[in-house]
Amino acid sequence: MSLRFLIAPNSFKGSAGAAAAARAMARGVRSVFADAEVIELPIADGGDGTVEALVAARSGRIEQRSVRGPHGEEVRASFGIIGDTAVIEMAAASGLTVTKLRDPRRASSYGTGELIRAALDAGLRRIIVGLGGSATNDGGAGMARALGVRFLDAQGRELPEGGAALAQLARIDLGGIDPRLSQTEILVACDVDNPLTGPRGATAVYGPQKGATPETVRELDAALARHALVARQATGRDVADVPGAGAAGGLGAGLLFFTPARLRPGVEIVLEAVHFEENLKRADIVFTGEGRSDFQSAMGKAPAGVARMAKKNGVPVVCLSGGLGKGAEDLFAQGVDALASIVPEPMPLEECMARAEELIESSAARVCRLLRVGALLPQMPIR
């Protein structure tokens, strides 16, 4: 009877997408176990690569729209459609990778709202929004504007875009909000548990990587606190301390305030969407992987989610990683049975990234050779 492999990696960021990584692992497996049954099921955790992984796994399609970028520039942004579901990565419209500027005081999530509106226009009433990689710190105010919400100062004037302007927020007008939202299921895929404000909030933790100085962090944190107060008064929802409210510059909170959104760990949403557990029941072993495994990996990243579900079903898991950092062993407690680096010898990072698919394939083959040796052990006397 041939072995049955379930191949479910995350993307190796900057070098190999999840689908490419899955194909490379499958090639490595078949080079050793030619008659193996191999199921390729690329996954993600809600961040970069979520659209690609879901579209590849569910034979969906990609749509493109021109939207407003973080600083008003035109951005050609993609989103996925799988069946009756739209899959949106906020980073595609409002991320660090689509703008050259680093100004979290003025950056807006408006383009993300435009993608949500495009999904509604397409007749879709189930939307998955992946958070991560944002250039913004506006508490989702820009997203809400694109869906008809108005943010006003004490004189009733529209506030400018960006998080800094929220310090002057006096009233939120919900009268023009898109009525289709009330008939739409919105799942927010999030892999962090930060609240909106405070020392673990959106600004303090993620603001510096977007260009915020210590002074700007204090300014924007206070502005988000004002935003939370006025939004709570307008919506009757108190969400600032909900785990994940601070994700993507506070977009998590904005979605909870202004849409019928539910925040869930991103990898759980993705695993459900690709029918992971159903495929798992046909597998003897799972290969997963990511660009780097360290202490953060056990905190909701894709390999941890894969391993927890596999452990529940009694299926062993091997994680292949571009690099193993401090705390990677924490994955063992999540259900990973073995860790392996894809890098066989010291080499420059640039070379590793350029050769990622080749290295992933070779690593998968090496692990399979060890599995073959392991299969012989019961026949050998062990002293």
- 8 A C-beta contact, residue 159 and residue 185: no
pTM value is 0.85
Q: Which range is least confidently modeled, 152-156, 273-277, 359-363? A: 273-277
Residue 255 confidence (pLDDT): 98
Residue 379 confidence (pLDDT): 63
pLDDT in tens, 188-220: 998 788 999 999 999 999 999 999 999 999 999
The span from the CA of 281 to the CA of 229, in Å, is 47
Nearest to 299 by CA among 243, 349, 248: 243
Mean pLDDT, the chain, whole residue set: 94
pLDDT in tens, 110-123: 999 999 999 999 99
Residue 381 confidence (pLDDT): 60
Higher pLDDT: 109 or 273? It is 109
Average pLDDT over residues 82-101: 94
Q: What three-state secondary structure class fits 364?
A: helix
Burial class of 348 by CB neighbour count within 10 A (0 to 12, 13 to 18, 19+): exposed
Give the number of other Cβ atoms within 10 Å of residue 54's Cβ: 26
Average pLDDT over residues 91-104: 94
The span from the CA of 239 to the CA of 257, in Å, is 7
pLDDT in tens, 19-75: 899 999 999 999 999 999 999 999 988 877 889 888 887 889 999 999 999 999 999
The span from the CA of 74 to the CA of 240, in Å, is 31
- Which residue shows structure tokens 């409002």? 94
Beta bridge partners of 320: 289, 340
Q: Where do the domains of the chain lie, and which CATH numbers do they carry?
A: 4-43+284-379 (3.40.50.10350), 50-267 (3.90.1510.10)
